[in-house]
Structure 1
Amino acid sequence: MSKVVYEGWMVRFGRRKIGRSFIHMRYFVLETRVLAYYKRKSLGNMVPIKTLFIDGNCRVEDRGLKIHHGHMVYVLCVYNKKDKYHRIMMAAFNIQEALIWKEKIESVIDQQQDLNTANGNMLHASFLAKAGTNADGNASSSDRESLASAEDEEVTNRTMIRRTTIGNGPPESMLDWTRQGDSVLSNQSTSDEVFSRKHWRLVRCQNGLRIFEELSEADYLPRSCSRAMKAVGVVEATCEAIFELVMCMDGTRFEWDSSFQYGSLVQEVDGHTAILYHRLQLGWFSMLVWPRDLCYVRYWRRNDDGSYVVLFRSREHPNCSAQPGFVRAHIESGGFNISPLKSRNGRTRTKVEHLMQIDLKGWGVGYFPSFQQHCLIQMLNSVAGLREWFSQTDETHTVPRIPVMMSISSGSVSSKKGGKSHDYSNQSIPLDEESDEDEDCQIHEPEEMMDSVKAENAMKQPDEDPLDQLDLSSFSGNLRRDDRDNIRDCWRMPDGNNFKVRGKTFCYDKTKIPAGKPFMKLVAVDWFKDVKRMDHVARRQGCAVQVASEKGLFTLVVNVQVPGSSHYSMVFYFVSKPLVSGSLLQHFVDGDDEFRNSRFKLIPSVPKGSWIVRQSVGSTPCLLGKAVDCTYIRGPKYLEIDIDIGSSTVANGVLGLVFGVITTLVVDMAFLIQANTYEELPERLIGAVRVSRLELSSAIVPQLEPNTSTE
């Protein structure tokens, strides 16, 4: 059996014959001679969906970034150069994982090439031995050294080329300011050479950044266009993490870029080049100065030293014409240069350079240098924003996202500017050519999708059996339900989308999604008090559990126990159809306490209340079985969970703070079973409840039957 070199979940990326892209999560396995992927983790003799034989003729082609429904994925294409139509397209949500796979596959290819070379050398040596070694044409030592150096150079070049990720290169008119003094400049345009021979001077130090200004004057630029300026700073994060954050154009950018208002994708040219629409938030006399927007080409590459370069330059596009209420600014040159530094005291360090040369356009801008400088410094300060974002964020993994912009063409761009309008439609044709003819989705995928849907239906049948028709009048609790706002001492069901849960791809990209509708229905809430702690409240005569049992329904009882001079219990009754065998809920209900403690989760929230209470409670999900003592009581058609808040010093302290102002609080609670595997995802709420401005005086003393716990 072949040795497994590397394995794990990756994205299966491709395009259908109609041109639409698709992604599927697949389990990839790389062996010493074969790359294969499976619908789920390979066990035993499972047959792969597709395999690719690995030999010295195989290549790994970097396809760069592709965008699917706003998600950016890093795509690799593995193929045999003798048969390019037999290939596998794979992708990852973060560039680190894609680079690991690329390196592993290339190492296997190199091993096969070395094996073939060794076999060839043996045959060649055998041939020379037979031909005789005394011939006049014996090779000299210098010849042998030349041959050896040529072989070493070939290996070195092969490695260096593979480490470089540049795609088709930057557009011809884009100025690559990162290659100052590089010999490659001899192949570039004259304007690029002039631009690259700039000299810089330090003009200020601000927010821990050094800010430079170019010394040379550009005669070919209008007066309103500022000199190029760049900010240089050090960020304690990896180049890959910084690069992924820079490429994002979603809400995350508001946290580090103060000049950002909105961004979207206009057109994806290839994996390394895209046309973007970008609105600036400059904040300089906004009552008098119109806001600015941009339409520009963004190109990126990864260099052989592990650094990343992102370049900007303005372009016109028929689907991104000038917008009413905005002045279209022009980026002459700009971008980021993200390069690794040596670590210090065990901390990863990266140098980030951000350059911008921009013409803000508009009437009289050239006569107000303070406006230009204010706006430029604000944009350059994003480097400080990056540094602070990483220093204050524990979870640095980001999923690059960029919204796709709907066409806003007015048909006036090309007519106004004539030949200056750039048509990228021809450059986009290769995207359709990337359609995998090996598509498992076009032949086998419908069957796989049917199997997947059936499996998910089996796992989630309870939430697909609607309980909306359930007659709630037969269920009663002493705390009343009221769906109106600003009502006191009552409960209601909040919108499930207020809570974020793990999505289907959480195992790979940590994405969370709105929870949606719970799969169990909250039918009643009790508010009890007594001189002692109240356990196993489901035994109370006439409670909602017994009513649900008579109707053939299953009940999950959550008993939140609050200690004090008087003990209180808030009891929630969630009902559903009978348990489906094999579902996650069934495993939880019939599992042992260790499994239950590791899965039962609470998501709290305080929509209305004082700031200090909202901060103390937070909205971070909590595994209750790990934080406090939970007792599980399994009945014939119910499971009761008694949650002793007083068993945790931390929880007791927060509770003391909350109890003092409970009559002014609106508290949301969502309960769910944590999903840990791809098959269990996405997570769904068991149920959710909103308790509004609770009155302690409304609690009643329950009449409990003698305790006859069944577990």
Structure 2
Amino acid sequence: MSKVVHQGWLVRFGRRKIGRSFIRLRYFVLESRLLAYYKRQPKDNMLPSKTLVIDGNCRVEDRGLKTHHGHMVYVLCVYNKKDKHHQITMGAYTIQDAMTWKEKIELVIDQQQDSLTAKHRKAFASCDFDMDNVGNMSFSDHESPPEDEEVNQPTLLRRTTIGNGLVSRMVIGPPDSLHDWTKEHDFGLSNQNDASQVYSRKHWRLVRCQNGLRIFEELLEVDYLRRSYTRAMKAVGVVDAKCEAIFGLVMSMDGTRFEWDCSFHYGSLVEEVDGHTAILYHRLQLDWLPMLVWPRDLCYVRYWRRNDDGSYVVLFQSREHPNCGPQPGFVRAHIESGGFKISPLKSRNGRPRTQVQHLMQIDLKGWGINYFPSFQQHCLLQMLNSVAGLREYFAQTDDINAVPRIPVMLNMTTDSVSLKKDHKPQEGDSLTTSLDQARADNRTSVMLDEESDEDDDYQIPEANSDDVSAKAETDAKQTVPEEELEDQIDLSSFSGNLRRDDDDKSRNCWRVPDGKLFKVRSKNFPNDKSKITAGKFLMELVAVDWLKDSKRMDHVARRQGCAAQVASEKGLFCFVVNLQIPGSTHYSMVFYFVTRHLRPGSLLQRFVDGDDDFRNSRFKLIPSVSKGSWIVRQSVGSTPCLLGKAVDSTYIRGAKYLEIDVDIGSSAVANGVLGLVCGVVTTLVVDMAFLVQANTSDELPEQLIGAIRLSHIELSSAVVPDLGNNSSTE
């Protein structure tokens, strides 16, 4: 067996025959002359799903960030330039992983090319011929390297600045209309007569130091400025973190952005132009006289690249888009130029350091707003302070060296964004509904199928994907994949007395939160204690019961007509969690999670069929108070808890269900926290996720069984169940 150069879990990125993209979690192995992937970590003489021979004709193509069901992965394509249809397209969730694989594969290609070059030189030196006849000499095609072999320039096409275009773009650098302010020092080489560069040459002066940042203002060498022209401002600060980690946060448009960017309301993806360019919609959270000034939103193009020195550049500029028209109740601001430059610095005391520059030149528009310069400056400073937010975010994070996750973004649908002439704003007319629906769609979408054999040997090159006809694309959007259809569960048959409502403002209800709100153990947890955001749930929450009685309620799953019994009649398996709350009146919050079957040999199957000692050592709860007072947040916390070790838990195994009765009153500490929570329960929004703790490398990464969000629960809404005479115990 050849020496293994690099190996690890990645995703395989490809397209189905009908044109839809898909990704699969696969284990990739790079050897000295071979790249292969497997459905699981290879053992003994396991055969790979697909292989690619690595030689001097191979190339590694950077395809940037690609979106699949809202998930974004960094995609690389390895192919042989003699046969570009024979390729492997692979993706990583982190830029650092992608860069490591790219470097390792290029190293193997270089070694093969050097070996080929040495072989031809040796063959040439061993030839004994008359130099006088050299002009009449010729070599056969198979004895000489191909014309495009590039023996003398083995790395010309492979070693390129990422996003700088020799491979992934037809032009060098960002789109022509996008001003790259990070190259202003090269102004002397630009076209001085270009009207579009009238204000390109910028000189800066320090105007203030604020929150540990230096704030600069643009100085212009002009005699007159129109009133509508806004000066550019930039903030410069140092963040104790790696460039990749900061870049991951800057690119994010999900919930993590609220933790460092105080000017962010929400954002979504309008169109993915290519792996380095995208059109985004962004709403600003500006607090300057909100009762009088309308909120602002943006539609802009975002371009990014990674330079050869390890720095990252992210550029912004406003752009009109047919699917992102003006929104009712918002004023569309205009970004003249903006973005981030993230540059590595020398580490200090073993901690990575990075300089972050954030520039914004924005016209906030609006009638008469130019007569209030304080508004413009206040809003600009609020946006620039995000650099300080980044610094504090990493200063308060223990996992500084953790590799960042490529962010998740939500697609903006045309119907929810476009403003038509005959459209009349109605109550609740907002993007919030469409975004919530997108989140729900993302939760139910099939992203990773470790057991699927479909399309293992079929891939359409990305460059040729545009050849798919419009009809095929339309049919693909209307066609539900077979595996998704089989996994769908009819929710109309299940019911509980606590209603489900996906509206954030609703009370006394439940909903399913996004799994990405919770962090679970990663594949490398035994080595570096790193955690990742949770992905798709193993089971689906179908019903919730809110019960009360004068006695503690045990074994509620045997009630006729409950969700567990309905699931059993349908041949489904139900996982029941019964949280028992003691008091003068006993309450039970019962959650019903359903799946079609338990995968044999999986951690969940071993938990269901295991003994109580194993269950107590593995059943875990991740709590979180999304809305509530500070003292309640601190008391509940968000630290994962092994329920079997913290409180008394009883496990009841039925033919088609497992019920876990969790007696919260059995712990004095839990009882104290519960007493505090019950007094203000109507003001709380609480998230809970349940999972089986993974300890070994074969079990990792962890996966959530399911999660629930309870909103403003009313004690009076609980109902008395019909449990029979012997179904309750003191």
Displacement of 1:206 in angstroms is 0.8
For the Cα contact (< 8 Å) 1:557–1:571, is it kept in 2?
A: no
Give, as a single letter, the amino acid of the residue that structure 2 aligns with 1:123: A
For the pair 1:230 / 2:234, whether they are aligned, the reply is yes
8 Å CA contact 1:298–1:313 kept in 2: the answer is yes
Asked if 1:213 is matched to 2:217, the reply is yes
CA change 1:527–1:112 in 2 (3 A) is farther
| Structure-2 residue corresponding to 1:405 | 412
Q: CA deviation at 1:123?
A: 2.4
- SS for the counterpart of 1:656 is helix
1:433 to 464, 467, 487: 464
Is 1:179 paired with 2:183? yes
Aligned residues of 2:214 and 2:236 also touching (Cα < 8 A): yes
Q: Within 1, Cα distance between the matches of 2:49 and 2:519?
A: 20
- Give the letter aligned to residue 68 of structure 1: H
1:601 maps to 2:620: yes
Structure 1 residues 39 and 125 mapped into 2: Cα distance closer, same or farther (>3 Å)? same
1:683 is aligned with what amino acid? L
Q: Residue 359 of structure 1 corresponds to which residue in structure 2? A: 363
CA shift for structure 1 position 450? 9.5
Q: In the superposition, relative to structure 1, how do residues 162 and 609 fare at CA in structure 2: closer, same or farther (>3 Å)? A: closer
Segments of 5+ residues of structure 2 without an aligned counterpart are 132-149, 422-460, 474-479, 501-507, 524-531
Matched-pair contact (CA < 8 Å) for 1:606–1:614: yes
SS in 1 for 2:185: coil
Name the counterpart of 2:477. none
- Residue type of the alignment partner of 1:42: P
Deviation per CA, 1:241-286, whole angstroms, max 9, x where unpaired? 2112111223332332222233233322221112223333333233
Match of 2:344 among 340, 364, 368: 340
Higher deviation after alignment, 516-525 or 246-255: 516-525
TM-score between the two structures when normalised by the length of structure 1: 0.70
Give the AA of the match of 2:160: I
Answer whether contact 1:175 1:192 (CA < 8 A) is retained.
no
Q: Is the 8 A contact 1:226 1:359 kept in 2?
A: yes
What's the CA shift string for 1:142-185, capped at 9, x where partnerless?
xxxxxxxxx99957867853667554321113221112324894
String of CA shifts for 1:469-497, please: whole Å, max 9, x gaps.
89xxxxxxxxxx97599xxxxxxx97361
Q: 2:512 aligns with which of 497, 507, 510?
A: 497
1:655 to 665, 671, 675: 671
* TM-aligned CA deviation for residue 228 of structure 1: 1.6
Mapped partners of 1:578, 1:214: distance in 2: 62
2:705 counterpart residue number: 684
> How does 1:17-96 map onto structure 2 within 5 Å?
18-96=18-96
Residue in structure 2 matching 1:616, options 635, 649, 654: 635
Query: For 1:57-206, what aligned pairs fall within 5 Å after superposition?
Result: 57-127=57-127, 161=160, 166=165, 167-168=168-169, 169-182=173-186, 185-186=189-190, 190=194, 197-206=201-210
Unaligned runs of 5+ residues in structure 1 are 133-150, 413-429, 443-448, 458-462, 471-480, 486-492, 706-711
State the secondary structure of the residue aligned to 2:247: helix
Q: 2:534 matched to 1:511?
A: yes
The 8 Å contact of residues 497 and 514 in structure 1, kept in 2 or not, is answered as: no
How far apart are the structure 2 equivalents of 1:152 and 1:333? 42
Aligned-pair CA distance for 1:603: 4.3
User: Which residue does the alignment assign to 1:144?
Assistant: none
Show the counterpart of 1:328: 332
Which whole-Å deviations, capped at 9, do the CAs of 1:291-315 have from their partners, x for residues lacking one? 3333322211100011000112223
Question: In structure 2, what is the Cα distance between the partners aligned to 1:215 and 1:518?
Answer: 58
Q: State, as a whole percentage, how many aligned pairs show the same letter.
A: 59
Task: Assess if the C-alpha contact under 8 Å between 1:525 and 1:572 holds in 2.
Answer: no
Change (3 A) 1:404 1:10: same
Change over 3 Å in CA distance of 1:367–1:121 after alignment to 2:
same
Q: Cα–Cα, structure 1 residues 48 and 527, in superposed 2: closer, same or farther, change >3 Å? A: farther
Q: Measure, in 1, the Cα distance between the counterparts of 2:357 and 2:113.
A: 40
Which residue of structure 2 lines up, in the alignment, with residue 674 of structure 1?
A: 692
CA drift at 1:198? 2.6
* Aligned mates of 1:608, 1:177 — CA distance in 2: 41
Residue 123 to residue 131, structure 1, CA distance change in 2 (3 Å): farther
Residue 63 of structure 1 aligns to which amino acid in structure 2? R
1:349 aligns with 2:353: yes
Q: Distance in 2 between matches of 1:44 and 1:5?
A: 18
Does the CA contact (< 8 Å) of 1:503 and 1:513 recur in 2?
A: no
- Counterpart residue number, 1:269: 273
Q: Deviation per CA, 1:584-617: give whole Å up to 9, x if none.
A: 5542243255642443123446799865234312
Give, in angstroms, the shift of residue 334 of structure 1: 1.1
Aligned ranges 1:435-474 → 2 under 5 Å: none
- What SS is found at the alignment partner of 1:179? helix
Aligned equivalents of 2:617, 2:383: Cα separation in 1: 46
**2:89 and 2:568 mapped to 1: Cα distance?**
50
Task: Work out which of the residue numbers 372, 379, 383 in structure 2 matches 1:375.
Answer: 379
Q: Based on CA coordinates, which of the two structures has the bigger radius of gyration?
A: 1
User: Aligned partners of 1:679 and 1:452: how far apart in 2?
Assistant: 24
| Structure 1 pair 660–623 and aligned structure 2 pair: CA distance change class (3 A) | closer
Distance 1:503 1:171, change over 3 A: same
Query: In structure 2, how many angstroms separate the alpha carbons of the residues matched to 1:661 and 1:505?
Result: 25
Q: 1:525 to 1:685 in 2, by over 3 A?
A: farther
Alignment deviations for residues 392-416 of structure 1 (CA, whole Å, 9 cap, x no partner): 345674441222223355699xxxx
Contact 2:541 2:592 in 1 (8 A): no
Post-superposition Cα deviations, 1:342-390, rounded to whole Å, max 9, x if no partner, equal 1112222111101112233333344332222222222211211222222
Q: Deviations over 1:184-220 (max 9, x none)?
A: 9458984677656432111100111101112224579
* SS of 1:227 mapped into structure 2: coil
Which stretch shows the higher mean deviation, 628-637 or 14-23?
628-637
Offset at 1:516?
7.1
Whole-angstrom CA distance in 2 between matches of 1:686 and 1:286 = 36
Report the CA distance shift for 1:241/1:192 in structure 2 as closer, same or farther (over 3 A).
farther
| Equivalent position SS for 1:304 | coil
Look up the SS of the partner of 2:104 in the other structure.
helix
Q: Is the 8 A contact 1:262 1:279 kept in 2?
A: yes
Residue deviations 1:535-571, cap 9 Å, x none?
xx88x9x9979x999x99999897989999x9x9989
Choose 513-522 or 41-50, whichever is displaced more.
Answer: 513-522
Pick closer, same or farther for the CA change 1:375–1:164 going to 2, 3 Å: closer
How is 1:439-588 mapped onto 2 (pairs within 5 angstroms)? 483=498, 495=510, 497=512, 500=515, 510-512=533-535, 517-518=540-541, 582=600, 585-588=604-607
Equivalent of residue 239 in structure 1, options 238, 243, 250? 243
Q: 1:630 to 1:692 in 2, by over 3 A?
A: same
Kept after mapping to 1: 8 A contact 2:497/2:545: no
Counterparts in 2 of 1:39 and 1:659: CA distance versus 1, 3 Å: same
- The residue that corresponds to 2:14 in the other structure is 14
**Structure 2 length-normalised TM:** 0.69
2:290 and 2:63 map into 1 onto residues whose CA distance is: 42
Structure 1 residues 664 and 205 mapped into 2: Cα distance closer, same or farther (>3 Å)?
closer
Q: Is the 8 A contact 2:537 2:706 kept in 1?
A: no
Paired with 1:366 and 1:573, the residues of 2 have a C-alpha distance of 55
Give the direction of change, closer, same or farther, for the CA distance of 1:609–1:464 in structure 2 (3 Å limit): same
Q: Measure, in 1, the Cα distance between the counterparts of 2:17 and 2:104.
A: 31
Residues 75 and 89 of structure 2 are in contact (CA less than 8 Å); yes or no, is this contact kept in structure 1?
yes
Q: CA deviation at 1:34?
A: 1.7
